[in-house]
A and B are shown apart, each in its own frame.
Chain A
Amino acid sequence: MEKLLVADNVSKSFGDYKALNDISIEVPRGSVFGLLGPNGAGKTTFIRIINQITMPDSGVILLDGKPLQPDDIQYIGYLPEERGLYKSMKVGEQVLYLAQLKGLSKQEAKIRLKYWFDRLEIGDWWNKKIQELSKGMAQKIQFVVTVLHQPKLLIFDEPFSGFDPINANLIKDEILKLRDDGATVIFSTHRMESVEEMCDHIALIHKANKVLDGRLIDIKRAYKSNTFEVGLQTENKSVVSKLIEEQFEVFPASFKSINDELQYKIKIPANSSPNDLVGYLTSKGQLNHFVEVIPSANDIFIETVQNN
């Protein structure tokens, strides 16, 4: 897949503190790219470098194959984690001003703004001051500011904080729609369930280093442990459980079931096939439940961070 954004060996230090250490990342065009990492890992610094707020000490960032230029900011929409708006300025004026800073003409900005305000049903806020709006309402405005100039690269840092579940869903759908319309999204969050839902690719940064990178599905494959969750209904529970525990590496499992059955997580060796396990289990009783255990983004995050 073609790469929209490439970071090549980017490093940055603040005094003695190393914020980024030789980070290389490739963001495919049209993907939702999850930038993950514990607090203080260096995500925000990296995002600021993409936005040319901070200059890297070494390394380059390529946008569409060319090194970043000052004028490239018009192709990037950035929703920072620390965000806000001028409190005493009116909504309409404020968004127009910020859109013009991104290079839109006033007329163009007005037309697009109308579209977005209608779409999010916030048209009657035009003459309100930000300080008269609730936090969630202000966040919606902030979202419009981020996407108004139709950037090809969108960067969201914790986009859902401050939204109620309904609005969070609304914004999530808007982000995915923008992706479908051709935008590329870099998405930084601590909410693993939204990573699971939205991201195609992820990169994990930990203590200034990149520790994991790739398609989410590939990473999950790499992290799967050939473990299966099984529910086996049998007459002779104690005998069968003893047999299984001798034969395989097992972990206790617990899932909801209407049957009275043995519940296990069974790990099989890498060279054996799940079919063999199914064959073995069916010979011992009735197999009601057989599911591969797929590591969640949350598991992968915790495991990777703790192992490093």
Chain B
Amino acid sequence: MNHLPLIIKREYINKVRNKSFIIMTFLSPLIMVGVFTLVAYLSQLNNDGIRTISVLDESGLFIDEFENSDGLRFNILTDLNLSDAKKLSELSEDYGLLFIPKFENIEDVSKLVTFYSEDSASLQQIDDIEDVISEKANALKLKEAGIDAERIKKLRIRVNAKQETYKGKETSKLGSILKLAFGGAAGYLLFMFIIIYGNMIMRSVIEEKTSRIIEVIISSVKPIQLLLGKILGTSLAGITQFLAWVILMGVFSVLITSIFGIDPSTTQSPQQELISQNVDGGTQQIVQDLILEINNLPIANLVVMFLFFFIGGYLLYASLYAAIGAAVDSETDTQQFMLPILMPLILAIYVGFFTVIENPHGTVSQVFSYIPFTSPVVMLMRIPFGVPIWQQILSLVILFVTFMGTVWFAAKIYKVGILMYGKKASYREIFKWLKY
């Protein structure tokens, strides 16, 4: 008799109806969106106040160069000596005082400019001010040498190296970042999925043991059916929760944006800034490049392999989690068995985020994309950079063969373990079970 659908259905409904599951489904996206919003709000708040910077320019050459902007006002001081200016600036609670002394040669300005402030000033601010002064000083110097600065500006040549593979595919820095994002997201998603729902499977096995229903059930169904039903039912519940999270996050962000007028997506991460700095030439250009790059990505390959590696990797670990659940009596006993599972997972993430980024096709990256316990994460991160199909298939074959092995192993432990009550399993004990 095939009871698998029945078992899957029960596991699924039981998980989905569980109160804490429902609460987590709604609460997690709310918390996530809430945190993003808070960060966005705070960083907005941080930049909100208008800063005033007093400028004491004894040379008088730069006074016209400082332009007020939204968040920044320049207050030009004249006819004051430095100590008075400092006092004044401090009393009027300025952000800082920029002091440019008199100088003989324009070159000297590079060392003479001083910025006084309450605490250390923001790096960004100093950079901006330095840029303004340098620009002007350069122009003056050029003029001194009798060169027309405007002309030079016009004649300046900018190089933007086009990147192309030998086979003629265009790539770019933006492309690399995009690939990294795709691969990283895929790998990280799998990692999270394994940890969250692997644990859920383990707990559900332990629950059957502690409630002592297990013997009633396996007098009706084969343990392997129960094991598979449990893994599949829990995974379906997991996918449901994931989808709900994605949808709810969208809904919540829209709601929050419209209610509070804060856009969580304006929180700029350093990576995003990197992108915008790397690509000169307006948003339109960026969008064009982005579309080009997305077209360049092996999308079909990525999607198909994502599915295969996700399923393979998840099932591999899920069966191990189930075996652990069967071997122990309560959740507190799981610690000693968790480490061997978490180690390769964490290793995979580290290899992925450090080695693959550094060199997607280096030896270390390649080796780890064949080892079945790390390959799902590492290979998923490598694929956007272009991995020959035979390598992907070889890695998949290794993964699924290993999966068969772990299922056999897990089923063995499961079969014996679920009927062992009150016995604290050790590695040696489990090794003995394999021979029963």
| B238 shortest CB reach to chain A, Å | 19
Q: Kindly report which residue of chain B lies nearest to residue A149, judged by CB atoms.
A: B220
Which residues in window 234-285 of B have CB below 8 A to A? none
**Residues of A contacting B6 with CB < 8 Å?**
97, 100-101
Q: How far is the CA of A132 from the CA of B221 in the complex (A)?
A: 27
Question: Which among A82-90, A118-126, A260-268 touches the partner chain?
Answer: A82-90
Q: Kindly report which residue of chain B lies nearest to residue A73, judged by CB atoms.
A: B220
**Residues of B contacting A142 with CB < 8 Å?**
216
| A55 shortest CB reach to chain B, Å | 10
Q: Which among A48, A71, A86, A102 is the interface contact of B211 at CB below 8 angstroms?
A: A86
A51 at the interface (CB under 8 A from B): yes
A103 at the interface (CB under 8 A from B): yes
| A253 shortest CB reach to chain B, Å | 45
| A148 shortest CB reach to chain B, Å | 12
Q: How far is the CA of A85 from the CA of B216 in the complex (A)?
A: 8
Q: How far is the CA of A73 from the CA of B212 in the complex (A)?
A: 19
A98 at the interface (CB under 8 A from B): yes
| B8 shortest CB reach to chain A, Å | 12
A252 at the interface (CB under 8 A from B): no
Q: Which among A82, A88, A145 is the interface contact of B421 at CB below 8 angstroms?
A: A82
Q: Kindly report which residue of chain A lies nearest to residue B13, judged by CB atoms.
A: A93
Q: Kindly report which residue of chain A lies nearest to residue B435, judged by CB atoms.
A: A15
**Residues of B contacting A214 with CB < 8 Å?**
none
Q: Which among A14, A53, A85 is the interface contact of B213 at CB below 8 angstroms?
A: A85
Number of interface residues of A (CB under 8 A): 29
B88 at the interface (CB under 8 A from A): no
A78 at the interface (CB under 8 A from B): yes
- Please judge, given known A-B contacts A15-B436, A71-B1, A82-B421, whether A101 and B217 are in contact too, CB under 8 Å: yes
| A283 shortest CB reach to chain B, Å | 63
Interface residues as binary, B1-18 with A (CB distance below 8 Å gives 1, 0 otherwise): 101001100100010001
**Residues of A contacting B18 with CB < 8 Å?**
88
Interface residues as binary, B194-230 with A (CB distance below 8 Å gives 1, 0 otherwise): 0000000000000110011101111111100000000
Q: How far is the CA of A80 from the CA of B207 in the complex (A)?
A: 17
Q: Which among B14, B216, B435 is the interface contact of A78 at CB below 8 angstroms?
A: B216
**Residues of A contacting B213 with CB < 8 Å?**
83-86
Number of interface residues of B (CB under 8 A): 25
User: Are A51's CB and B219's CB within 8 A?
Assistant: yes
Q: How far is the CA of A74 from the CA of B1 in the complex (A)?
A: 10
- Please judge, given known A-B contacts A71-B1, A89-B14, A97-B10, whether A145 and B211 are in contact too, CB under 8 Å: no
**Residues of A contacting B3 with CB < 8 Å?**
100-101
Task: Tell me which of B220, B419, B435 has the highest count of chain A C-beta atoms within 10 A of its own C-beta.
Answer: B220
User: Are A78's CB and B219's CB within 8 A?
Assistant: yes
Q: How far is the CA of A102 from the CA of B1 in the complex (A)?
A: 9
Q: Kindly report which residue of chain B lies nearest to residue A145, judged by CB atoms.
A: B216
| B30 shortest CB reach to chain A, Å | 25
**Residues of B contacting A103 with CB < 8 Å?**
1
- Please judge, given known A-B contacts A14-B436, A100-B6, whether A53 and B1 are in contact too, CB under 8 Å: no
User: Are B220's CB and A80's CB within 8 A?
Assistant: no
Q: Which among A48, A80, A88 is the interface contact of B216 at CB below 8 angstroms?
A: A80
Q: How far is the CA of A51 from the CA of B219 in the complex (A)?
A: 6
User: Are B10's CB and A53's CB within 8 A?
Assistant: no
Q: Which among B1, B211, B221, B421 is the interface contact of A87 at CB below 8 angstroms?
A: B211
| A257 shortest CB reach to chain B, Å | 50
User: Are A82's CB and B212's CB within 8 A?
Assistant: yes
Which residues in window 265-297 of A have CB below 8 A to B? none
Task: Tell me which of A53, A76, A88, A89 has the highest count of chain B C-beta atoms within 10 A of its own C-beta.
Answer: A53
B432 at the interface (CB under 8 A from A): yes
**Residues of A contacting B211 with CB < 8 Å?**
84-87
Task: Tell me which of B215, B435, B436 has the highest count of chain A C-beta atoms within 10 A of its own C-beta.
Answer: B215
**Residues of B contacting A88 with CB < 8 Å?**
14, 18
A165 at the interface (CB under 8 A from B): no
Which residues in window 323-381 of B have CB below 8 A to A? none
**Residues of B contacting A102 with CB < 8 Å?**
220
Q: Which among A80, A86, A89, A100 is the interface contact of B219 at CB below 8 angstroms?
A: A80
**Residues of B contacting A85 with CB < 8 Å?**
211, 213, 216
Which residues in window 37-55 of A have CB below 8 A to B? 48, 51-53
**Residues of B contacting A80 with CB < 8 Å?**
212, 215-216, 219
Q: Kindly report which residue of chain A lies nearest to residue B218, judged by CB atoms.
A: A53
**Residues of B contacting A97 with CB < 8 Å?**
6, 10
Q: Kindly report which residue of chain B lies nearest to residue A142, judged by CB atoms.
A: B216
Task: Tell me which of B3, B18, B216, B222 has the highest count of chain A C-beta atoms within 10 A of its own C-beta.
Answer: B216
Which residues in window 192-250 of A have CB below 8 A to B? none
| A89 shortest CB reach to chain B, Å | 7
Q: How far is the CA of A97 from the CA of B233 in the complex (A)?
A: 15
Q: How far is the CA of A48 from the CA of B214 in the complex (A)?
A: 13
Q: How far is the CA of A87 from the CA of B10 in the complex (A)?
A: 14
**Residues of B contacting A101 with CB < 8 Å?**
3, 6-7, 217, 220-221
**Residues of B contacting A52 with CB < 8 Å?**
219
**Residues of A contacting B207 with CB < 8 Å?**
86-87
**Residues of A contacting B7 with CB < 8 Å?**
101
Q: How far is the CA of A71 from the CA of B220 in the complex (A)?
A: 9
| B260 shortest CB reach to chain A, Å | 39
Q: How far is the CA of A291 from the CA of B123 in the complex (A)?
A: 109
Q: How far is the CA of A170 from the CA of B373 in the complex (A)?
A: 56
**Residues of B contacting A86 with CB < 8 Å?**
14, 207-208, 211, 213
Q: How far is the CA of A101 from the CA of B436 in the complex (A)?
A: 26
Q: Kindly report which residue of chain B lies nearest to residue A89, judged by CB atoms.
A: B14
**Residues of A contacting B435 with CB < 8 Å?**
15
**Residues of B contacting A53 with CB < 8 Å?**
215, 218-219, 419
Task: Tell me which of A70, A82, A101 has the highest count of chain B C-beta atoms within 10 A of its own C-beta.
Answer: A101
- Please judge, given known A-B contacts A83-B213, A85-B211, A100-B6, whether A76 and B421 are in contact too, CB under 8 Å: no
The interface of chain A, by Cβ under 8 A from chain B, is 14-15, 48, 51-53, 70-71, 73-74, 76, 78, 80, 82-89, 97-98, 100-103, 142, 145
9 more contacts with CB within 8 A, not counting A87-B211, A101-B6, are: A53-B215, A73-B1, A74-B1, A78-B219, A86-B208, A88-B14, A101-B217, A102-B220, A142-B216
Ranked 8 nearest A-B pairs via Cβ: A84-B212, A101-B220, A80-B215, A84-B211, A51-B219, A78-B219, A84-B213, A82-B212
Selected A-B contacts with CB under 8 Å, 13 pairs: A52-B219, A53-B215, A53-B219, A73-B219, A78-B215, A80-B215, A83-B216, A86-B213, A89-B14, A100-B3, A101-B7, A103-B1, A142-B216
